[in-house]
Amino acid sequence: MSTPTTTGDQILTSSLHSRRFIYDARYQADGRKKPVIVFVHGFKGFKDWGTFTLIADEFARQGYVFAKLNLSHNGTTPEHPLDFVDLEAFGHNNFILELDDLSILINELEEGKSPIPAAEMDPNRLALIGHSRGGGLVLLKGAEDPRVKAVVTWAAIHNLEQRWPKSFLDEWKEKGVVHIPNARTGQQMPLYYQLVENFRENKERLDIPAAVARMQQPLLVIHGTGDETLPSSMAHEIASWKKGSELLILPDANHTFGGAHPWPGDQLPADTTEVIKATAAFLQRHLNPRS
């Protein structure tokens, strides 16, 4: 099994905030211009979580440039990409920051600023894949950015506003901050009320149902019936908002499609393998790799 070429971690900067953040890309160096996948992690996620690097390698072997990023305010740093060492940054994250971070990476790839040789990459054939909250982000980004040619969601959130009951919002506003437990690390992760204010100030841009309804790109929605975090009914709703979208529901698959962090060995879980197979078939039809 061939080992893809990797760029290693690359630094990104933004004119909108002072935090550096990173991405990496994997591809087979064969001199062919390959379509690009940009992968977006979810809430309490990061680009090298669990199975994500194995997933990147598999897509690279199938003829794609696969880029994955740490969103700037996900709580990691370039020096500590696997750990939530900056909880203040996590607390000050919001959806607009995340969408703009994604734009910065797309710009980097489109403008040829990455270390990927031009002969290896075709940024005009670019797809987005998002997991969990990242799935919501790629739906929003696809609707607003014509450079995106296809969108795939894995266990995606379907509505940003409905996550917050009024009683919870009232308490959050009064205190200014809520803390979300991270079961894996034992950390209490802060979320400042600015997240709500930012959502309300940008409600039109952050309206996922409306974004999906106006999306021009082909869309594949994947979810598992055993998802313990987001019910698979969300996937049915997302698919219903866009005529011609494709829906795959995996029986009993959980929120991470069998993955965990850390992930032992180099074999992917069966459910993740099914997700990759379906995603690759979808992208083959819409991005025409290896042409």
With residue 177 as reference, give the H or E element that holds it.
strand 177-181
Contact between 72 and 19 under an 8 Å Cβ cutoff? The reply is yes
Average the pLDDT over 116-139 and give the result.
98
Residue 165 has pLDDT above 90, yes or no: no
CATH number of the domain that 72 lies in? 3.40.50.1820
Dist CA 146 CA 89 (whole Å): 30
Q: Are strands 21-27 and 65-69 parallel, antiparallel or unpaired?
A: antiparallel
Between 249 and 265, the higher pLDDT residue: 249
What values do phi and psi take at 96, rounded to 5? Answer: -70, -40
- Map residue 281 onto helix, strand or coil: helix
Average the pLDDT over 132-140 and give the result.
98
Please give the single-letter amino acid code of residue 66.
F
pLDDT in tens, 13-69: 999 999 999 999 999 999 999 999 999 999 999 999 999 999 999 999 999 999 999
pLDDT interval class at 288 (50, 70, 90): confident
pLDDT in tens, 169-204: 999 999 999 999 999 999 999 999 999 999 999 999
Contact between 190 and 87 under an 8 Å Cβ cutoff? The reply is yes
Q: Which of 81, 75, 64 is nearest to 22 (CA)?
A: 81
* DSSP H helices in 111-232: 133-144, 166-175, 194-201, 208-214
Average the pLDDT over 141-166 and give the result.
94
Contact between 239 and 158 under an 8 Å Cβ cutoff? The reply is no
Number of domains in the chain: 1
* Per-residue pLDDT, 33: 96
pLDDT interval class at 291 (50, 70, 90): very low
pLDDT in tens, 148-159: 999 999 999 999
* Per-residue pLDDT, 1: 60
Dist CA 96 CA 127 (whole Å): 20
* Per-residue pLDDT, 161: 80
Q: What share of the chain is helix, strand, coil (3-state, %, to 5)?
A: 35, 20, 45
pTM: 0.97
Segments forming the whole domain that contains residue 230: 5-287
pLDDT in tens, 74-125: 999 999 999 999 999 999 999 999 999 999 999 999 999 999 999 999 999 9
